[in-house]
Structure 1
């Protein structure tokens, strides 16, 4: 009963503030989520009281009376106007593994403190860990998205998105972080680890603020596209790792169709175990903007890249921090001496075939 009361109270505070939740930022902060309380009481894949049951009806504000992994035997499709409060789970928290979570074509989705770990136990190699294609008004905050097969996050044709304070790490299969088109989109204080490319791939007007990217082969990417987009890239730290073949691919395929305001970004390229990078604001052949394209971007960039490194590593991802996220953080803390781009989550050496235990 207390959990239901707190969930309802949080919803009322959210409605009063006009934000997805107090402290929400960026374009996805307009998401309204759901208001009808629903408690997940079972870790089963399907049936009464399960996560699949919870998200099958629009308008729900979902809390958890159970902790652990929900092992999915098939993809789960979210309804519109859903709030998923992973922080309400007892013990070590809540997560899903083995299949895609999809918000495709839906709107007003709020997901917080939730673990989404697909992995190669998913037999469908064309699916992503989280898919929100053609969705609108979506915010992921303090989520942990690992072991995506197609992409970790796929958001083609999606409008008004924020991904904040989240871990996007160790994609397998294509080894891609995130693919977003249409926008606008905000990527804020995220940790990107051991992805080949797309951290993110953004074909949209974009805010990219106080992110940390580690052990990349290509980091912030636009790709060869005819789209005309504007990008505010502020206060990020790109850190090379063992898999980084060219540290200067921190900005990748930035063509002349793009307009970029790049300020206060750093690159640490020497892989020497110390955080000792230097300014990195050269954005290829893109048109250089003298001021941010979005009036709110500079106000969001409250951290230097050095402070972003400390703050992000301390607070990013789902809470409480579990074995997988602890492993990810420890790799980044090696500052160039550890890390690998993998094709199988078990290659991480984390227990339970790479998934760890909740």
Structure 2
């Protein structure tokens, strides 16, 4: 049954200022919800389910059950929603099969949620997570795998942060993330085995302490008349078996763009050893002598080498499950393993590639 209680009663602080302690970037002031709702069922719909929980704005959602929620249709979130996946008992909570959408909504906080769309999706125009035309959104410590159209679709999104998250093994278009409008912050994320869009960003952007592995194209702007500014600091790009041109770590970045790049490394030799060299020439972008955003230097607290260690140790939803463990193991091969896949089943993991919770 559905349970509604006071947020104070379960020890969850009401949001004041930052979305949560440690939140950074343009989405960090998302306010989320305050009316506590406990998800008590893994069913697709009905009382006590995630679908019911997100059907009304203003809710702060926790979980008393662990496991996968198999979606029969997409879930459309309401504005002013907080999803606290970290409250689920071990081994954690996830959704599989269909899209989670925050399209045209505002003030949403999602933490420690696994979103795994995969080949169960019946609509190839849907993404694992869609926040098109949304405002004030933060995803933190999420695990987003097997996206069909994009892993993350954010065209028209304003004030977005994606932090400490895994974006890996997209199928379908095999794209990581597509964001337009912005501004946006991508912070300490792990991007693995995508054809392109890690991310595609037509926006003023902070891209700080990310790790990108086995890319065909990584940080991308693509053909655009827009003149955007980009802070790229302390990122590590690592080629893998699917990488055909190491220089496509920065892809289709023309002289309409302005970039501040510092401390980025590229490991291009696929030799099983982390031994990258400096990679701070960002296409033909205008070179900025200092970050375009005054907050970028403050959150860029790690070198690229430190980012590799920190990201692999703590990225994604907790506790780490078999899918995320597989992602990490591929990256740790440092160029010798990995593939861009067409189905989650290609991983060889249990439950047709979705893994079990």
Band of TM-score, shorter chain: over 0.9
C-alpha contact (below 8 Å) 2:81/2:107 kept by paired residues: yes
Question: What's the counterpart of residue 39 of structure 2?
Answer: 40
Residue pairs, 1:201-280, within 5 angstroms:
201-280=200-279
Q: Does residue 338 of the first structure (1) align with residue 340 of the second (2)?
A: no
Aligned length: 354
Question: What's the counterpart of residue 133 of structure 1?
Answer: 132
Matches of 1:232 and 1:277, distance apart in 2: 20
Residue pairs, 1:1-358, within 5 angstroms:
9-12=11-14, 14-15=15-16, 18-358=17-357
Matches of 1:9 and 1:89, distance apart in 2: 15
Matches of 1:195 and 1:297, distance apart in 2: 26
TM-score (norm 1): 0.97
C-alpha contact (below 8 Å) 2:7/2:13 kept by paired residues: no
Compute the displacement of 1:6 (Å).
6.6
Matches of 1:7 and 1:290, distance apart in 2: 50
Matches of 2:116 and 2:13, distance apart in 1: 27
Matches of 1:8 and 1:203, distance apart in 2: 40
Matches of 1:48 and 1:20, distance apart in 2: 27
Matches of 1:169 and 1:6, distance apart in 2: 36
In structure 2, stretches of 5+ residues that fail to align are none
Compute the displacement of 1:9 (Å).
3.5
Compute the displacement of 1:350 (Å).
1.1
Compute the displacement of 1:30 (Å).
1.0
Matches of 1:164 and 1:218, distance apart in 2: 20
C-alpha contact (below 8 Å) 2:6/2:35 kept by paired residues: no
Compute the displacement of 1:336 (Å).
0.2
Deviations 1:23-61 (A, max 9, x none): 100000010000000000000000000000000000000
In structure 1, stretches of 5+ residues that fail to align are none
Matches of 2:238 and 2:43, distance apart in 1: 40
Compute the displacement of 1:284 (Å).
1.2
Could you say if the C-alpha distance between residues 241 and 226 of structure 1 is closer, same or farther in structure 2, counting changes exceeding 3 Å?
A: same
Compute the displacement of 1:272 (Å).
0.3
Deviations 1:62-86 (A, max 9, x none): 0001000000000000000000000
| SS of corresponding position for 1:69 | strand
Matches of 2:319 and 2:6, distance apart in 1: 20
| SS of corresponding position for 2:172 | coil
TM-score (norm 2): 0.98
| SS of corresponding position for 1:11 | coil
| SS of corresponding position for 1:244 | coil
| SS of corresponding position for 2:139 | strand
C-alpha contact (below 8 Å) 1:7/1:61 kept by paired residues: no
Matches of 1:351 and 1:256, distance apart in 2: 47
C-alpha contact (below 8 Å) 2:7/2:34 kept by paired residues: no
C-alpha contact (below 8 Å) 1:7/1:63 kept by paired residues: no
Matches of 1:51 and 1:156, distance apart in 2: 25
Q: Post-superposition, which runs of at least 4 consecutive aligned residues in structure 1 deviate over 2 A?
A: 3-12
